[in-house]
Structure 1
Amino acid sequence: MRQTPPHPWPMEALPMAPARARPVGLCVLCGLPAAGKSSLARALGRGAAWDCARISYDDVIPAEAFLPQLEMSCWKQHRRQLLIYVEHFLLALKNGSSLCAPTQRIPNTWQRFVNTLTEQGLVSSESAGTEPRHRLLNPTARRPLYVVLDDNFYYQSMRYEVYQLARKCNLLLLFGFLLSMHAFCRLFLPPSVTWGELCSAQS
């Protein structure tokens, strides 16, 4: 009988989550414009053994933030805010709770972030209560969910911020670097999983 090959990142190798919460990982796609990041992100979403939440910085951060007459701190502030939104989403997934809006937020950017998740069927569009709150859809699915961040991440400091976030949330992190027609990746394990445990789970 033909055996199905093991998933490259089996559920057993992911950090332990609260009961019934789905396994979560973080994937970062880096590269110059037109290197194929968005195409790869969409292709990853068609995986047979996992689901993907694609978060494109171009879709969430408004174009006005990059106007030349504005200070550089404007788009930096939007990037920092987006990473805070991603953290709230990751914690909601790990805890099996609703997605709550941060107290300090840029309303336009937050709404665009929520719209991105709503269009992918990940959160509900309606809010409950005085503070924006969105219910997770299918939070107890057994298939792993990988949150894919789609941006150039040109500066090392940008990539390091995501690395810190993955460590903080105890998540498996994959960096994918796309250079024209070539690509390579780096894998960072969460503190709760050793490389030996990952290899043992695959075998």
Structure 2
Amino acid sequence: MPTRICLLALIGLPASGKTMFSKWLLELPQTAFNVIHICYDDHFPQPTNETSSETKFEFKKERTQIFSIISELIDALKNTTRFPNHLNTTVKSSLHADCYDFLIICDDNNYYRSMRYKLYQLCKQTECAYAQIYFEGHLEMALQRNSERPAVERVAQKTIQQMAKRLEAPDSATQRWESNTVILNEYTYKDCSAMKIKILEFLGKTFKNTLRPSPVQEKAKNVQSLVHQLDLLLRRRVAEILHTEHAHTLERQERARNLNTKRKDILQNFKTIAEEGMRVDELNEYANLLH
């Protein structure tokens, strides 16, 4: 069976029930799919009231890193159907031995639409499914729940208030890509079990809605693949040339630098031409340009 992956973006204020929902899904005795929980709080420092440029840079850096983790996870599942042990995730395997459906929970506030859209675009590029669950609730409720947390887990009250002002709720009317969304209000998510059938049916159907790259994205993907294949051929060519030439260490190092400079130039020129149309069987012609 082919591997199917769904990215599930959770949306909501701190203390709105996102991680509680994730744990509930992980603890279900049996599901029709494997569950992988990525809790952003495990990768990000606790939010503060600071708004310095340095703090914003670190936040952006952390978000880029976790996006890379998700990309790496998708790649590993697509190619090996195995969970990379070095990634900081919680995994619940399906009791079905031959289950190749994987739900990746992106447990974050995702309060800006741009944050979610980046995940949606990743799904299109990697041919995965995409879904959202919006934990709708009042600011007062979030502040109350946050105050009941252990001190080390509490988010600054000012941070939650600012996030509430900036939160961009899903809007499928104007953003069609957000149409695959379920809204859980402050009453329903208190007892996830009451909505078990609805939630599992929603997630189960989502796996059937695999996204596809647009023609532009597909072309870029093909070009990237060709460039990668040519790079491997060129690197092999460099190794062959250095192996056949007998030179002193310093001369060999200089020769290697020159060859790698040529390799990069060939790749750059090839990329420009490949965007206009290129066949795999033409790669060797470019590899032989290196001498």
Q: Does 2:129 match 1:159?
A: no
Contact 1:23 1:142 survives alignment (8 Å): no
TM (normalized to structure 1)? Answer: 0.59
Percent identity reads 27
SS at match of 1:115: coil
Deviation per CA, 1:107-140: give whole Å up to 9, x if none: xxxx6xx2335xx378xxxxxxxxxxxxxxxxx8
Instruction: Specify whether residues 84 and 50 from structure 1 end up closer, same or farther in structure 2 by C-alpha distance, changes over 3 A only.
Output: same
2:5 pairs, out of 24, 33, 38, with 24
The amino acid of 1:28's aligned partner reads: A
Instruction: Specify whether residues 98 and 43 from structure 1 end up closer, same or farther in structure 2 by C-alpha distance, changes over 3 A only.
Output: closer
Aligned residues: 143
1:49 pairs, out of 24, 32, 50, with 32
Structure with max Cα Rg? 2
How far the C-alpha of 1:100 sits from its partner, in A, is 7.4
Cross-structure match for 1:40 = 21
Q: Does 2:15 match 1:58?
A: no
SS at match of 2:88: helix
SS at match of 2:211: coil
Structure 2: state its 5+ residue gaps. Answer: 139-182, 186-201, 213-291
Cross-structure match for 1:88 = 72
Q: Does 2:130 match 1:173?
A: yes
Instruction: Specify whether residues 144 and 176 from structure 1 end up closer, same or farther in structure 2 by C-alpha distance, changes over 3 A only.
Output: same
Structure 1: state its 5+ residue gaps. Answer: 1-15, 102-110, 123-139, 193-203
Structure number with higher helix proportion? 2
TM (normalized to structure 2)? Answer: 0.42
Instruction: Specify whether residues 77 and 173 from structure 1 end up closer, same or farther in structure 2 by C-alpha distance, changes over 3 A only.
Output: same
Instruction: Specify whether residues 67 and 76 from structure 1 end up closer, same or farther in structure 2 by C-alpha distance, changes over 3 A only.
Output: farther
Runs of 4+ in 1 over 6 A off after TM superposition: 97-101, 184-188
Alpha-carbon distance between aligned partners in 2 of 1:142 and 1:99, rounded to the nearest angstrom: 14
Contact 1:30 1:154 survives alignment (8 Å): yes
Structure number with higher strand proportion? 1
Cross-structure match for 2:159 = none
**What is the root-mean-square deviation of aligned Cα atoms in Å?**
3.4
